[in-house]
Amino acid sequence: MKESASTTKPLSIVIAKGDGIGPEIMDATLKILEAANVQIDATHIEIGEKAFLAGNTSGITEDAWDAIHQKKVILKAPITTPQGKGYKSLNVTIRKSLGLFANVRPAVSYHPYVKTNHEVMDIVMIRENEEDLYAGIEHQQTDEVTQCLKLISRPGTEKIVRYAFEYARKFNRKKVTCLVKDNIMKITDGLFHSIFKEISKEYPDIEAESQIIDIASARIANRPQDYDVLVTSNLYGDIVSDITAEISGSVGLAGSSNIGQEYAMFEAIHGSAPDIAGKGIANPSGLLHGAIQMLQYFGEAEKAAYIQNAWLRTIEDGMHTGDIYNDSISKKKLNTSEFADAVIERLGQNPEHFAKIEFNSDDTRIVIKDTEHAPRKKELVGVDVFIDDKNRDAEALGNSLVDASKEVLKLKMITNRGVKVYPGGMKSTFCTDHWRLRFISKSAEKVNGQYEYKNITAQEVIDIQSQLVKSGFDVIKTENLYTFDGKIGFSLGQGE
Ligand code: NAD
């Protein structure tokens, strides 16, 4: 081991050893950091299973929050969310409470030392971390139908897209690929895509492309070498980053950062691996890679490269933990602590097969400023009223609704699970007990066979509900229909 100078100042961080294999891999990681002369001013916090079972329903105590608010940076081992008691994921709670909007997950092929079908692969997933279907707003609305709200905001999308381009620039990446499904979700994914196109123009030095998430996932799994930086919303990012981790060879290798404007959290991408916990055989590399990303965040690029190069050399030397051990290339099967010692022995050495790592920028913190926009003119032009009705006859329902509503608003159409079933629905469309009734202004006229939208009042939205309730309908919710600067801000029914 060749010594290196200590970090310029102690890293002031909170450490959470977590559950399952967490304490084992955290001890190994801290041992490597210490041997590399990384000074740490740490506050240890207890979060996860023990906190949950001690009655903290969120899995974290007030003291732990205080420490986090003071230190602002967390190095966290995986935690176990106890099953079956309705506990919310602590990871999601921490990310959202601290505004950690960007989840950065690199996935790299270490072929031929780690078994993978892909010799060349070096992908960084930048996943939006706070919104989308993970907003956690779900409802059962009728006996038969449940819903989950997918929230995609302009500020949330701008921040993550800008972060992806800034990341690409800072880390000398060439291309950013945006993953969306805006052929189906034209408003939510459409917004994400349009913001991507808008912001990409500010980065002419970086190639920008967009792909539909389904075919893109298949291509990523098949030809990861064609991809560089990926940016996407929360759910797609969660799924695709597991694909990239898996095809790179092992979930035990990758680290991840969760970055906000003020706070940051670094971790492994894998979970607490209860199946091997306590055996001392887990691979600490994922958490070590999280810690290396943390060093870069603190501006300790040289130290980060010093450890990463020793780690690469360890892998090249065939010093492998059980999860990546392979008779044809591995030289020694090491346990967690022996693996840490093998990395420590190689501190100061560089890889011979892989390219030596040089993190070329000491300033790797990416701060994204919020963009101001002039508000657009919003006008109310209709309302969707959702009702629960067990009678599956759309035609009969439509006729009775026209009658019940005509004094207040005009019934434009009825859909069931998004498909138009009235007027002129098809007998073959299966209907559930969940109906969406679209109401527009009483005075709306048809232009070229379609009703044009006219303004309605908030009072009319209330009146139509009272009218329907009085007529015996079971109203379950409403969604107002707006235009923004005259542009329709809602989707049409399929077949409308
Ligand atoms: P997991 O990632 O813990 O394990 C999946 C498989 O990979 C297991 O076979 C495990 O042995 C293996 N594995 C994972 N990490 C390894 C390592 N470092 N070395 C060697 N093998 C490794 O996923 P899971 O089993 O679905 O989840 C277990 C628990 O972890 C659950 O309670 C889950 O909620 C939690 N979890 C936590 C986090 C986090 O804290 N960030 C992330 C994912 C899952």
Condensed to tens digits (0 to 9), the pLDDT of residues 221-258 reads 999 999 999 999 999 999 999 999 999 987 889 999 99
* Cross-strand partners of 446: 451
Cα 287 to ligand 1 centroid, rounded to whole Å: 12
Q: How far, CA to CA in Å, does 333 sit from each of 117, 149, 249, 317, 324? A: 22, 47, 17, 12, 9
Cα 268 to ligand 1 centroid, rounded to whole Å: 10
Which atom of ligand 1 lies at the shortest distance from residue 287's CA?
Answer: 18
Q: How far, CA to CA in Å, does 392 sit from each of 142, 405, 427, 437, 468? A: 14, 20, 11, 14, 18
**Domain definitions of the chain by residue range:** 1-103+249-370, 117-239, 378-488
Tell me 423's DSSP state.
T
Residue 366 pLDDT greater than 90, yes or no:
no
Which atom of ligand 1 lies at the shortest distance from residue 82's CA?
Answer: 32
With pLDDT > 90 as the criterion, what percentage of the chain qualifies? 82
Residue 212 pLDDT greater than 90, yes or no:
yes
Cα 409 to ligand 1 centroid, rounded to whole Å: 54
Q: pLDDT band for 2, please (50, 70, 90 cuts).
A: low
Q: How far, CA to CA in Å, does 484 sit from each of 186, 376, 459? A: 15, 6, 20
State whether the beta carbon of 423 lies less than 6 angstroms from ligand 1. Answer: no
The reply to whether omega before 78 is within 30° of 0 (cis) is no
The reply to whether omega before 375 is within 30° of 0 (cis) is no
Look at residue 89 in the predicted model and tell me its pLDDT: 81
State whether the beta carbon of 271 lies less than 6 angstroms from ligand 1. Answer: yes
Residue 359 pLDDT greater than 90, yes or no:
no
Please give the Cα distance from 265 to 120 (Å, whole number). 28
**8 A C-beta contact, residue 98 and residue 205:** no
Q: pLDDT band for 84, please (50, 70, 90 cuts).
A: low
Which atom of ligand 1 lies at the shortest distance from residue 323's CA?
Answer: 20
- The residue whose C-alpha atom lies closest to atom 26 belonging to ligand 1 is 271
State whether the beta carbon of 275 lies less than 6 angstroms from ligand 1. Answer: yes
Cα 32 to ligand 1 centroid, rounded to whole Å: 22
Please give the Cα distance from 356 to 350 (Å, whole number). 6
Please give the Cα distance from 467 to 470 (Å, whole number). 5
Look at residue 49 in the predicted model and tell me its pLDDT: 87
Which atom of ligand 1 lies at the shortest distance from residue 274's CA?
Answer: 28
**8 A C-beta contact, residue 232 and residue 213:** yes
For 266-298, give the DSSP string. Answer: EEESS---GGGTTTT----HHHHHHHHHHHHHT
- The residue whose C-alpha atom lies closest to atom 25 belonging to ligand 1 is 273
Joined tokens for residue 114: 């780690």
Centroid of chain to Cα 423: 40
State whether the beta carbon of 267 lies less than 6 angstroms from ligand 1. Answer: yes
- The residue whose C-alpha atom lies closest to atom 22 belonging to ligand 1 is 252
**8 A C-beta contact, residue 451 and residue 444:** yes
Look at residue 51 in the predicted model and tell me its pLDDT: 86
Region for residue 165 given its phi and psi (left: phi exceeds 0; alpha: psi -120 to 50; beta: otherwise):
alpha
Q: pLDDT band for 143, please (50, 70, 90 cuts).
A: very high
Residue 54 pLDDT greater than 90, yes or no:
no
Sort strands 229-232 and 175-180 into parallel, antiparallel or unpaired: parallel
Which atom of ligand 1 lies at the shortest distance from residue 18's CA?
Answer: 40
Residue 443 pLDDT greater than 70, yes or no:
yes
Does 98 or 448 have the greater pLDDT score? Answer: 98
Centroid of chain to Cα 283: 25
Which atom of ligand 1 lies at the shortest distance from residue 322's CA?
Answer: 20
**8 A C-beta contact, residue 407 and residue 485:** no
pLDDT in tens, 8-42: 689 999 999 999 999 999 999 999 999 999 999 99
Query: Among positive and negative, which fits the CA dihedral 242, 248, 252, 254?
Result: negative
pLDDT in tens, 253-290: 999 999 999 999 999 999 999 999 999 999 999 999 99
Please give the Cα distance from 89 to 136 (Å, whole number). 11
Centroid of chain to Cα 398: 41
- The residue whose C-alpha atom lies closest to atom 24 belonging to ligand 1 is 271
pLDDT in tens, 292-343: 999 999 999 999 999 999 999 999 999 999 999 999 999 999 999 999 999 9
**8 A C-beta contact, residue 461 and residue 380:** yes
Tell me which architecture the domain covering 117-239 has in CATH: 3-Layer(aba) Sandwich (3.40)
Which of 130-134, 141-145, 346-350, 369-373 bottoms out in mean pLDDT, i.e. has the lowest? Answer: 369-373
The one-letter amino acid code at 159 reads K
pLDDT in tens, 369-403: 888 899 999 999 999 999 999 988 999 999 999 98
State whether the beta carbon of 48 lies less than 6 angstroms from ligand 1. Answer: no
Q: How far, CA to CA in Å, does 318 sit from each of 29, 315, 418, 463? A: 19, 5, 56, 74
Look at residue 1 in the predicted model and tell me its pLDDT: 62
Region for residue 95 given its phi and psi (left: phi exceeds 0; alpha: psi -120 to 50; beta: otherwise):
alpha
Please give the Cα distance from 450 to 275 (Å, whole number). 60
Fold of 1-103+249-370: Isopropylmalate Dehydrogenase (3.40.718)
Tell me which of 3.30.70.920, 3.30.70.1570, 3.30.530.20, 3.40.630.30 is the CATH number of domain 378-488: 3.30.70.1570
Calculate Rg over the CA atoms of the chain.
Answer: 27
Residues counted in the chain: 496
Residue 363 pLDDT greater than 70, yes or no:
no
Residue 361 pLDDT greater than 70, yes or no:
no
Cα 45 to ligand 1 centroid, rounded to whole Å: 20
Neighbours of 484 (CB within 10 A): 12
Helix, strand, or coil here: 69?
Answer: helix
Task: Report the predicted TM-score, pTM, of the whole model to 2 decimal places.
Answer: 0.92
